[in-house]
Amino acid sequence: MTALPTRKLEAWRYTDLRALAAISFVDSVPAAAPADLPELGMPRIVFVNGVFSEAHSTPFEFCAGFAAVAEASSLPLAKINAEHARDGVTLVVPEGVDAGAVLLVSYASADMPIAFHPRHRITLGAGAKLTVVEVAMGQGVYWHNPVTDISLHENAALAHYRLQDEGLESFHLATIRAKIAAGAAYESFSAVMGAKISRAEFHVTLRGAGAKTHLNAAQLLGGHQHGDFTTVVAHDAPNCASRQTVKSVLDGHARGVFQGRIEVARAAQKTDGYQMNQALLLSDTAEIDIKPELEIFADDVKCSHGATIGALDPEQVFYLRSRGIPEAQARAMLIRAFLDEALEPVTHEGARGLFESAIENWWARK
């Protein structure tokens, strides 16, 4: 097996995988999934311990099975995935087709530590449309190491919503690679709430003129959780836009990481790149590490990044309480308001409802 990355690698400076390396994982074992898996009134594809579960899934006509060959990668976790992947879903939407929405659920449950490495592919033909809602959840000690390769042809539109709500003893290390052709849009939002250690690493390449992407996230972490949201957006063509609004709400001893790199090639004139990272620290012991990087080789571009770190404003809390709103509810309202901008790309009603209740539950279970 390819070795796990260590903190000696610049890209892994803030995320330490020694706790993962210390565990001997076995390959996935079969398990039963609970009856109350998420359901959004759309076709559902379910993986239990990384293995496709026909019993829990419903037919989706654009589903094409498992891609036998991995795409080459220099990323250590994608390499490990390529070596071990045994299952995954391939979604192919032909040119001009609006395929609606599909729910992808990963459920894990194990008595002994298991590892699974799903390989997913999403390909949209020219002008095609699709909404993918992903939910990752489970219990026990496990390592979920999915790689998702996305290819959008001209003017295609993919909305990709991810709810990472894994069990609190688990490890979730996701790699998402997307190639976006001219005029196509990759709109993504990730809610990160689960896992002991998690990382979502996006590599998005805007390859044709007028391509655009949103890579938004909300990280809600407490206890000793560690959540890392890392993005690399390559602007390779002119007139492309990338928007990243990443919000972290950190309680207890939680640690959040945001690393965002925007690479603007010489040809990518009129690039519009925006990156905003904001953290709300609810305790004195929570921590956030933010590393924005801009690499710009074109001369006519608009790129900005900003970062803020703060606590809940006592004036705002008092204002709400003075109107009769109990303190816990006032704080929850302000946290939800803080996340609002990150949720902007979530235009699908069902997906929005899923995130709204997940955020509410996160607050309630604290």
Partner 1 sequence: MLVIENLFARIEEKEILRGVDLVVPDGEIHAIMGPNGAGKSTLSYVLSGREGYEVTGGSVTYNGQDLLGMEPEERAAAGVFLAFQYPVELPGVGNANFIRTALNAVRRARGEAELDAVAFLKLARAAIKNLHMPDDMLKRNVNVGFSGGEKKRNEVLQMALLQPGLAILDETDSGLDIDALKIVADGVNALRGEKFSALVITHYQRLLDHIVPDRVHVLAAGRIVRSGGPELALELEAHGYAGLEAA
Contact 50, 144 (CB under 8 A): yes
Select 123 or 278, whichever has its Cβ closest to partner 1: 278
Strands (E), 222-271: 226-235, 241-250, 255-264
Number of residues that bind partner 1 (CB under 8 A): 24
CB of 340 to partner 1, least distance (A): 4
Q: Which two tokens stand for residue 65?
A: 């099975």
Q: Is 360 in the site for partner 1 (CB under 8 A)?
A: no
Q: Which two tokens stand for residue 233?
A: 């957006």
CB of 315 to partner 1, least distance (A): 5
Q: Is 282 in the site for partner 1 (CB under 8 A)?
A: no
Q: Is 270 in the site for partner 1 (CB under 8 A)?
A: no
Select 336 or 352, whichever has its Cβ closest to partner 1: 336
CA 218 vs CA 191, 258, 335: distances in Å: 5, 11, 11
CB of 321 to partner 1, least distance (A): 4
CB of 51 to partner 1, least distance (A): 41
State the Cα–Cα distance between residues 291 and 301, nearest whole angstrom: 21
Select 66 or 274, whichever has its Cβ closest to partner 1: 274
Scan residues 101-140 and list those touching partner 1 (CB under 8 A).
Answer: none
State the Cα–Cα distance between residues 235 and 84, nearest whole angstrom: 31
State the Cα–Cα distance between residues 366 and 359, nearest whole angstrom: 11
Q: How long is the chain?
A: 366
Q: What angle do CA 209, 215, 217 make, to 5 degrees?
A: 170
Select 281 or 339, whichever has its Cβ closest to partner 1: 339
CB of 218 to partner 1, least distance (A): 12
Scan residues 312-351 and list those touching partner 1 (CB under 8 A).
Answer: 313-316, 318-327, 329-330, 333-334, 336-341
CB of 305 to partner 1, least distance (A): 20
Q: Smallest Cα–Cα separation from 43: which of 61, 18, 31, 68?
A: 61
Neighbours of 346 (CB within 10 A): 24
Select 297 or 319, whichever has its Cβ closest to partner 1: 319
Positions in the binding site for partner 1 (CB under 8 A): 313-316, 318-327, 329-330, 333-334, 336-341
